[in-house]
Amino acid sequence: MAINRPAVVGGFVIGALALVVVGIVFFGGARFFYPTVRAVVFFEGSVAGLDVGAPVTFRGARIGSVQAIALELRPQGRALIPVYLEFLPGRVSFRDMGERPPLDQIIAAGLRAQLQLQSLITGQLRVDLDFHPEIPGYTASIDTGDISQVPTIPSDLDRLRQALNELPDVMDSARHALDAVGRFATHLDSEIEPLTAEAKDSLRSFSRAMNGFEQAVSRLQTDASHTLAGIDDLAGDARHQVNDRGAELSKLLRTAEEAAQKAETLIASLNDLMETRSRFRGDLEAAIRDLASTASSLRSFARQLEQNPSVLLRGRSER
């Protein structure tokens, strides 16, 4: 039986291609089903320890890797080091993002990138992503095209380096402060001895004043005791006088009350006598008229006597 060699070779080729396709789909075919998400970051400090293939993590979970580290030189000795990140297909999904690029929306919400130590022994670094909207991030003023730029913030290692760089200035400030404290202590030692002597003199004067004050207070207490005793005796005498004179005062009050009643009775009697139609007032008015008539007769007799003194001897003549 003859074998059709071209058919066999074609079968082997088709089978090999099928195996290649299955292998690609099985081992790395996810890239065909998920869109590739890329980003770029610009770190202000050194990127020593960061290599291509280094992990890109989000709160410790690996979501991608560093794809490239480039260098852009600028005039006046400026240099920019862009680090390109690529997220693993299927590891990051975006939901309810609308029409804007999803990564741009996440960056606007506060996504920040920073270098973190991957291994303390090897010094390898990784790029860690997290939300820090309260921290302003660094972005380079260059056009990155369709690739989104994630703002960067200093890492703990950068802050440690900055603190170490500022340590000499801190030491100088501490040295100046210690020198100032030393000068102040020397000046204080020179000034404290006179102050101590003055303080001792003041304390002695105060002690003498307190002794005099205690003596004065003691004498004042003695005088006050005598005065209070005299006041008590006077109060006792007053109480005795009041008790002894109580009966006399009562009698005097009764006498005064009786005199007031008699005065009221006399005033009432006088009011009755002085009324217009009272008998006493009529008699008094008649007596006054008689006295007036008598006075008129005496005046007439006196005039006759002055004119004719012999009337006393001969009597009045009848006409």
User: How big, in percent rounded to 5, are the helix, strand and coil portions of the chain?
Assistant: 60, 15, 25
Greatest mean pLDDT among 17-26, 53-62, 87-96? 53-62
Higher pLDDT, 8 or 217: 217
pLDDT in tens, 276-294: 666 767 777 777 888 888 8
pLDDT-based confidence at 47, cuts 50/70/90?
Answer: confident
Q: Cα separation of 56 and 128, whole Å?
A: 6
Higher pLDDT, 145 or 23: 145
Q: What is the pLDDT of residue 192?
A: 67
86 forms beta bridges with 38, 65
User: Do residues 137 and 153 touch, judged by C-beta distance below 8 A?
Assistant: yes
In this structure, what DSSP letter does residue 112 have? E
Q: Cα separation of 122 and 199, whole Å?
A: 68
pLDDT-based confidence at 69, cuts 50/70/90?
Answer: very high
Summarize the confidence of residues 21-37 as an average pLDDT.
Answer: 57
> How many C-beta atoms surround the C-beta of residue 106 within 10 A?
18
Higher pLDDT, 32 or 151: 151
pLDDT-based confidence at 88, cuts 50/70/90?
Answer: confident
Domain ranges of the chain: 31-154, 155-244, 246-283
Burial (CB count <10 Å: 0-12, 13-18, 19+), residue 317 = exposed
In this structure, what DSSP letter does residue 138 have? B
pLDDT in tens, 225-272: 777 777 777 777 767 776 767 677 778 788 888 888 888 887 777 777
Q: What is the pLDDT of residue 30?
A: 47
Q: Is the pLDDT of residue 130 over 90?
A: yes
State the residue for tokens 């003194």: 309
Burial (CB count <10 Å: 0-12, 13-18, 19+), residue 210 = exposed
Q: State whether residue 80 is helix, strand or coil.
A: strand
Q: What angle (nearest 5°) sits at the alpha carbon of residue 31, between those of residues 25 and 34? A: 120
Q: What is the pLDDT of residue 55?
A: 94
Higher pLDDT, 166 or 147: 147
Q: What is the pLDDT of residue 149?
A: 93
Q: Is the pLDDT of residue 54 over 90?
A: yes
Q: What is the pLDDT of residue 191?
A: 64
Portion of the chain with pLDDT greater than 90, in percent = 17
Q: Is the pLDDT of residue 169 over 50?
A: yes
Summarize the confidence of residues 157-182 as an average pLDDT.
Answer: 70
Amino acid found at 39: A
